[in-house]
Structure 1
C-alpha cells in the first residue's frame, strides 16, 4: 500500500493513497484534500492506512448510500465545512437522505430514484429546500468519485425542482414607523433589534452577533465583525477573516440614542449581576442575557405586524424595506450597496431592479425642475 502527499494549487496539501484493487480488478485510489500542513496530510494518510489494514474501510458493492454518507460526514464534512454548514448537512442526511435512500447500494443508485425522492419530498418541503438536498448529495457523490467508490455522479442525470423566487415584500416609511411604534408597546425586549434592522438594513445574524465592542458612539457607527447563526438548536459564532475589513454601518440619530440607553442599562446590569449575565457582551440579548433565538425574533415581529394590521413580511424584508426607502429617496446605489454589505454594486442593482422605473421617475422630476 503506497501513498504520497502533495501541495495543491491553492497552497493546501492533499494525499493520494494506492489501496490495491477492488473485486473488478480496478485500482483503488483514495484522495483527500484540504490539509493546511504537509504533516497533517501525512498524519491523515497514516490513519487511513491503519483503517484499511483493520478492515474498517468498505470498498465493495455492498457499501450502501447510507453507509457512504456516514463515511463522508466523518471523513470530509466534519473537517472541511464550517460548523454551521456541517450541522445543516448532517441534519439533511440523517433526517431525509438516509431514511429514504440509505438502503440502496451506492453503485446501484439511479437518477430515477433521486427523481422519486424529489417528488416525495416536495409534498412537505419547498422546492428550494429539496434543491438544497440535491446539492448536498451531489457534493458527496463527487467526492465518492474522487475516492473511487463509484465511476459517475448520478445526480447529474436527475432533475431537481426549480426553486420559486420568493416575492419581495416591503413596508413604506409610514408603515415602518407604525410598526416600530407598535413594537415599542407590544414587545419591549425585541423592539430594539427590530428598530435596528429598520434603521440599518443589517441581517438578522449580524444583529444577533453585534457586541458592544463593535459599537463606536464617537464615530456613530457599528462594525460587523461576527455573526451568530443557528442550526439544529446550536449557535455558531462566525467571525470575519482577519485580513478582511469589517463593514461599518453609520447609525441614524434616533438609533444612536436608543443604543446609548441600552448601553447604560447593560452597564447597570453588569454592576449588579456581573458579566456572567451577558457573557458574550451582546447588544441584543433576551431577558436572561442569552442569545436571542432567531425564531423568537421572528415571532415578535409577526405579533407586531398583526397588531398594527400591516402586511405579513419576513424579518429579512426589513432589510429590503430599508434599501427600498433609500433608493426611492435617490440615494446612490453604491452607498446603499456598501450599507447592505453587498460584495458588488451589481448585486444591489439586480436585487432591486424592480425599482428602476420608480427611481427614473424621481430623476425626471428633478430634471423637470431644473431644465427649461
Structure 2
C-alpha cells in the first residue's frame, strides 16, 4: 500500500492510496482531497492506511449507476422515507434516471452527463420536475460519499433548470356556475367532487380522503383529518399528526344539500351491494366504491370545460377560483387563509398578491359611500 500527497490546481493537497487489486483485477484506490497543508494530508493518509489495514473501509467498486440506485432505494429510501415519497422516488429512478443514466459507472459519472440528462428531460418534463430529479440525484450521490463509494458529488456542479412559476388561472363567478351546471350533465360521477372543490377550496387529495365520519350535517361542517395521494400506481392514506387540529370548513347551503343526496345514494348502494361497497367510507368514490383516480377526476373536469367552452384550468385552479372570489368580495384574508389551510396568513397574501389593487378598490368604494 502506497500513498503520495500532491498539490491540485487550486493549491490544495490530496493523496491517493493504492491497495492492490480486487478479484476482477481492477486496482483499488482511495482518494482524499482539500487539505491546506501537506502535513494535514500526510496525517489523514496515515489514519486512512490504518483503517484500510483493519478492514473498516470498503474500497470503491465498479457499480453502475443503476446498481447503485437499486442499492440506495433498498438501504436508504425504503427505511428512511415515507411510503409515498419512496414510491415517487422509485418511479423517478426506474422510469427516468436509470433508462437514461443507468449504464454509467458510478465512479466515472461526470457533471456534463447530468447536464445532458436535464437537457433531454426538459423536452418532455417541466423545469420544476427536472429540478426535482436533480435534488434526488444529488441526495443519492451525497449518500454514496458517506458510504465511501465515491469521493465527489458531481451533481453539485450541474445546473438544473430554474422552475418557472405556473401562472394562476381562475374562473369568475359566472364561469364557475356555468362549469358546475355543465359538470352535472357531462360527468355525473365526478360532478360532486368538482362541485365541492369550487365551494370549499379544498385540495384534490383532501377531497379524495374525506370520509363520511368527518362530515357533520348538524353543524354544517366538514373536517379534514386525512388525504389520499397516489404514487407509482399505489394509494397512500396520509393522516394528519395527532398533535395538529383538523381543519374545519363551513359548508355552503347548496353543498350541504348535495352531500346529503350523495350520502343517501351511498347508503342505498350499500344496501344493494353490501358492506364491501365503499369500504373506506369515502364521501367521493367511483361507481364501484373505490378511490377516485386523480387522473380520472382531471379528465372529468377537462371534458366539462371543453363542453362549456370555458378557458382551460387545472383542478387546483378551482381552489384558486374559490379564494379569488372570496377576496374580491372583501372577505377578510384571515378567513380565506383558514379555509385554504395555509399555515400563515402571509402565505395567502403572497399567493394572491395580484389581487391587492382590486381589493383596495373595493375598500375605497366602501369609503366613498361612508365618508363625505
Q: Same fold (TM over 0.5)?
A: yes
Give, in angstroms, the shift of residue 254 of structure 1: 0.7
Give, in angstroms, the shift of residue 26 of structure 1: 6.8
Which range moves more in the overlay, 352-361 or 78-87? 78-87
Residue 243 of structure 2 corresponds to 243
Unaligned runs of at least 5 residues, structure 2: 1-18, 21-27, 33-54
Equivalence map 1:278-357=2 (5 Å): 278-357=278-357
Does the Cα contact within 8 Å between 1:206 and 1:224 map onto a contact in 2? Answer: yes
Which range moves more in the overlay, 59-68 or 162-171? 59-68
Equivalence map 1:223-262=2 (5 Å): 223-262=223-262
Residue 361 of structure 2 corresponds to 361
Structure 1 stretches of at least 4 aligned residues deviating more than 6 Å after TM superposition: none
For 1:240 and 1:59, how far apart are their aligned partners in 2? 44
For 2:134 and 2:342, how far apart are their aligned partners in 1? 27
Q: What is the TM-score with the length of structure 1 in the denominator?
A: 0.84
Does the Cα contact within 8 Å between 1:61 and 1:105 map onto a contact in 2? Answer: no
2:189 is paired with a residue whose SS is coil
Unaligned runs of at least 5 residues, structure 1: 1-20, 28-52
For 2:197 and 2:79, how far apart are their aligned partners in 1? 34
Residue 29 of structure 2 corresponds to 24
Give, in angstroms, the shift of residue 25 of structure 1: 5.5
> Which is greater in Rg?
2
Does the Cα contact within 8 Å between 2:29 and 2:59 map onto a contact in 1? Answer: no
Cα deviation digits, residues 187-209 of structure 1 (max 9, x gap) = 11111000000000000111011
Give, in angstroms, the shift of residue 152 of structure 1: 2.6
2:219 is paired with a residue whose SS is coil
Does the Cα contact within 8 Å between 1:182 and 1:304 map onto a contact in 2? Answer: yes
2:276 is paired with a residue whose SS is helix
Give, in angstroms, the shift of residue 273 of structure 1: 1.8
Residue 46 of structure 1 corresponds to none
Does the Cα contact within 8 Å between 2:78 and 2:86 map onto a contact in 1? Answer: yes
Cα deviation digits, residues 253-274 of structure 1 (max 9, x gap) = 1101111111112122222222
Give, in angstroms, the shift of residue 151 of structure 1: 2.4
Which range moves more in the overlay, 126-135 or 57-66? 57-66
Q: CA RMSD in A?
A: 1.8
For 1:273 and 1:164, how far apart are their aligned partners in 2? 48
For 2:152 and 2:370, how far apart are their aligned partners in 1? 65
1:183 is paired with a residue whose SS is helix
> In 2 relative to 1, CA 117–366 (structure 1 residues): closer, same or farther, beyond 3 Å?
same
1:235 is paired with a residue whose SS is strand
Q: What is the TM-score with the length of structure 2 in the denominator?
A: 0.84
For 1:59 and 1:295, how far apart are their aligned partners in 2? 46
Q: Does 1:216 align with 2:216?
A: yes
> In 2 relative to 1, CA 192–61 (structure 1 residues): closer, same or farther, beyond 3 Å?
same
Residue 31 of structure 1 corresponds to none
Does the Cα contact within 8 Å between 1:216 and 1:222 map onto a contact in 2? Answer: yes
For 2:334 and 2:151, how far apart are their aligned partners in 1? 47
Residue 90 of structure 2 corresponds to 90
> In 2 relative to 1, CA 70–218 (structure 1 residues): closer, same or farther, beyond 3 Å?
same
